[in-house]
Structure 1
Amino acid sequence: MLFNSISFLVFFPIVFILYWFVTNKSLKTQNWLLLFASYYFYSCWDWRFLFLLAFSTGLDYLTGLKIYRSDSQLGKKIWLVISIGINLGFLGFFKYYNFFAASFVDFIGVFGLKASYTTLNIILPVGISFYTFHGLSYVLDIYNKKIEPTTNWVEYSLFVSFFPLLVAGPIERATHLLPQVEKARTFRYQQAVDGLKQFLWGLIKKIVIADNCAEYANAIFNNTEQYSGLVLVWGAILFAFQIYGDFSGYTDMALGTARLFGFELLKNFNYPYFSRNIAEFWKRWHISLSSWFRDYLYIPLGGSRGSLWMTIRNTFIIFLVSGFWHGANWTFIVWGGLNALFIMPSVIWKKKNRETQVVAENSLLPSLKETGQLLLTFGLATFAWIFFRAESLGHAGEYISRMFLFGSDPNPFHYPELRSSRICAMLLVPFLCVEWLGRKNNYAIETLGLEWPRIIRWSIYGLLVYCIGMYMNTGGAEFIYFQF
Structure 2
Amino acid sequence: MLFNSIDFAFYFIIVTVAYFLLPHRYRWILLLSASCYFYMAFVPIYILILGFTIVIDYFAGIYIEKAEGKKRKMLLICSLIANIGVLVVFKYYNFLNESLGYMLNNAGYQNPVPYLSILLPIGLSFHTFQAMSYTIEVYRGNQKAEQHFGIYSLYVMFYPQLVAGPIERPQNILSQMHAKHEFDYNRVVSGLQLMLWGFFKKLVVADRLSIYVNSIYGHPELHNGSSVAIASLFFAIQIYCDFSGYSDIAIGCARIMGYDLMINFRRPYFSKSISEFWSRWHISLSTWFRDYLYIPLGGNRVPKYRVYLNLMIVFLVSGIWHGANYTFILWGALHGFYLLCGLQFNKLRSGFTHRLHISSRVNNLLSIVLTIILVTFAWIFFRATSIKDAFTLVTNLKTIGQVPFLGDGISNMAHCVLAIALLFMVEYKMEYLSDRFNLLTHKIIWVRWSFLVISVFVILLFGVFSGGQFIYFQF
The TM tier, using the shorter chain, reads: over 0.9
Cα distance, 1:349 vs structure 2:
5.7
User: Residue 478 of structure 1 aligns with which residue?
Assistant: 469
Superposition map of 1:345-356 within 5 A: 345-348=341-344
Superposition map of 1:260-339 within 5 A: 260-339=256-335
Cα distance, 1:446 vs structure 2:
10
User: Residue 453 of structure 2 aligns with which residue?
Assistant: 462
Residues paired across the two proteins, number: 464
Cα distance, 1:189 vs structure 2:
1.2
Letter in 1 for 2:431: R
CA distance in 2, matches of 1:367, 1:161: 45
Q: What SS does the aligned partner of 1:438 have?
A: helix
Q: Give yes or no for the alignment of 1:62 onto 2:53.
A: no
User: Residue 404 of structure 2 aligns with which residue?
Assistant: 412
User: Residue 42 of structure 1 aligns with which residue?
Assistant: 39
Q: Give yes or no for the alignment of 1:186 onto 2:177.
A: no
Q: What SS does the aligned partner of 2:52 have?
A: helix
Cα distance, 1:414 vs structure 2:
6.8
Q: Is there any run of 5+ residues in structure 2 with no aligned partner, and where?
A: 348-359
Cα distance, 1:224 vs structure 2:
1.4
How large is the RMSD of aligned CA atoms in angstroms? Answer: 2.1
Superposition map of 1:84-163 within 5 A: 84-163=80-159
The answer to whether the 8 Å contact 1:197/1:446 transfers is no
One of 423, 430, 435 as aligned partner of 1:431: 423
User: Residue 399 of structure 1 aligns with which residue?
Assistant: 393
Q: Give yes or no for the alignment of 1:384 onto 2:378.
A: yes
Q: Deviations over 1:394-430 (max 9, x none)?
A: 10000000012235x3x33676557742320121112
Q: Give yes or no for the alignment of 1:369 onto 2:326.
A: no
Seen in structure 2, the aligned counterparts of structure 1 residues 133 and 446 have a Cα distance that, compared at 3 Å, is: farther
TM-score, normalisation: structure 1: 0.91
Superposition map of 1:208-219 within 5 A: 208-219=204-215
User: Residue 355 of structure 1 aligns with which residue?
Assistant: none
The answer to whether the 8 Å contact 2:208/2:463 transfers is no
CA distance in 1, matches of 2:18, 2:436: 29
The answer to whether the 8 Å contact 2:54/2:153 transfers is yes
Seen in structure 2, the aligned counterparts of structure 1 residues 414 and 333 have a Cα distance that, compared at 3 Å, is: closer
Q: Deviations over 1:135-182 (max 9, x none)?
A: 100000111111110111111111111000000000000011001011
Q: What SS does the aligned partner of 2:368 have?
A: helix
User: Residue 360 of structure 1 aligns with which residue?
Assistant: none
Letter in 1 for 2:30: L
The answer to whether the 8 Å contact 2:207/2:464 transfers is no
Q: What SS does the aligned partner of 1:3 have?
A: coil
Farther off after superposition, 431-440 or 322-331: 431-440
Cα distance, 1:449 vs structure 2:
4.9
Cα distance, 1:112 vs structure 2:
4.3
The answer to whether the 8 Å contact 2:315/2:333 transfers is yes
CA distance in 2, matches of 1:350, 1:406: 30
User: Residue 20 of structure 1 aligns with which residue?
Assistant: 20
CA distance in 1, matches of 2:77, 2:214: 42
CA distance in 2, matches of 1:135, 1:467: 39
The answer to whether the 8 Å contact 1:198/1:445 transfers is no
Seen in structure 2, the aligned counterparts of structure 1 residues 395 and 417 have a Cα distance that, compared at 3 Å, is: farther
The answer to whether the 8 Å contact 1:2/1:8 transfers is yes
Q: What SS does the aligned partner of 1:304 have?
A: coil
One of 251, 254, 260 as aligned partner of 1:258: 254
Letter in 2 for 1:289: L
User: Residue 51 of structure 1 aligns with which residue?
Assistant: 48
Q: What SS does the aligned partner of 2:296 have?
A: coil
Farther off after superposition, 106-115 or 272-281: 106-115
Q: What SS does the aligned partner of 2:43 have?
A: helix
Cα distance, 1:17 vs structure 2:
1.2
Seen in structure 2, the aligned counterparts of structure 1 residues 412 and 130 have a Cα distance that, compared at 3 Å, is: closer
Q: What is the identity percentage for the equivalent residue pairs of Structure 1 and Structure 2?
A: 40
Letter in 1 for 2:426: V
User: Residue 357 of structure 2 aligns with which residue?
Assistant: none
User: Residue 170 of structure 1 aligns with which residue?
Assistant: 166
Cα distance, 1:458 vs structure 2:
2.4
User: Residue 357 of structure 1 aligns with which residue?
Assistant: none
The answer to whether the 8 Å contact 2:200/2:463 transfers is no
User: Residue 194 of structure 2 aligns with which residue?
Assistant: 198
Seen in structure 2, the aligned counterparts of structure 1 residues 336 and 65 have a Cα distance that, compared at 3 Å, is: same
The answer to whether the 8 Å contact 1:268/1:286 transfers is yes
CA distance in 2, matches of 1:204, 1:382: 22
Letter in 2 for 1:481: Y
CA distance in 1, matches of 2:258, 2:110: 58
